[in-house]
Structure 1
Amino acid sequence: MEVTDPVASEPAAARRRPAVVAALLLGIAALALWASSRMTWVTAYSSDGLGEDRTLTLDGGTWAASLTPLALVLVAAVAAAFAVRGWALRIVAAAVAAVGIVAAVPAVGLLSGGADPEDAARIADLPARATVTATDIAYGPAVLTLAGAVAALAAAVVLWRTPRSQAGLSSKYDSPAARRDAAARRGEGDERVTERALWDALDAGEDPTLDADPAPDASGNPPGDTEGDDDSGTRR
Structure 2
Amino acid sequence: MTQAVDKGLSRTGAALIGLGAALLWIASRLTWVSAGYTDELSGNGTVSLPGADWSLETTAVALLLLVGMIGAFALRRLGRRIVGTVSAIAAAAVAISPLQLLIRGADPERVHAILTSRSEAVASTNVGDTIGQWAEITAVDVPSTGPMVAVLGCLLALTGGIVAALRPGADAPKQNKYEKEAVRREHLREDMETKPDSGRVMWDALDADIDPTDYSTDTKG
Superposition TM-score, scaled by structure 2 size: 0.69
SS in 1 for 2:9: helix
> CA offset at residue 100 of structure 1?
0.9
Cα pair 1:177 1:200 within 8 Å, conserved: no
CA offsets per residue over residues 92-123 of structure 1, 9 Å max, x none? 12210122112211111111110111111111
| Cα distance change on mapping 1:200 and 1:102 into 2, 3 Å | farther
Distance change >3 Å, CA 23–CA 51, structure 1 → 2: same
Identify the match of residue 51 of structure 2 among 30, 47, 60.
Answer: 60
Moved over 3 A (4+): 200-203
Flag the structure with higher helix content.
2
Radius of gyration: which is bigger? 1
Deviations 1:191-224 (A, max 9, x none): xxxxx78316779x989xxxxxxxxxxxxxxxxx
- Worse overlay, 69-78 or 120-129: 120-129
Q: Percent identity?
A: 28
Shift of 1:142: 1.0
Alignment length, in residue pairs?
176
Give the conservation status (yes or no) of the 8 Å contact 2:29–2:52.
yes
Task: Determine the structure 1 residue equivalent to 2:39.
Answer: 48
What's the secondary structure of 1:77's corresponding residue? helix
* Separation of aligned partners in 1, 2:161 and 2:106: 30
RMSD of aligned Cα (Å): 2.7
Q: How does 1:21-170 map to 2 (within 5 A)?
A: 21-125=12-116, 126-166=131-171, 170=172
CA–CA distance in 1 between the matches of 2:64 and 2:154? 13
Q: CA deviation at 1:41?
A: 1.0
Structure-1-length-normalised TM-score: 0.65
Structure of higher RCO (CA pairs closer than 8 Å, 6+ residues apart): 2
Q: Tell me how far apart the structure 2 counterparts of residues 120 and 20 of structure 1 sit (CA, whole Å).
A: 40
Q: Letter of the 1:34 partner, please give it.
A: W
Deviations 1:48-73 (A, max 9, x none): 32331121111111111221111111
Unpaired segments ≥5 residues, structure 1: 181-195, 208-236
Distance 2:82 2:150 in 1: 23
Query: Is the 2:71–2:83 Cα contact (8 Å) retained in structure 1?
Result: yes
d(CA) in 2 for partners of 1:96, 1:179: 38
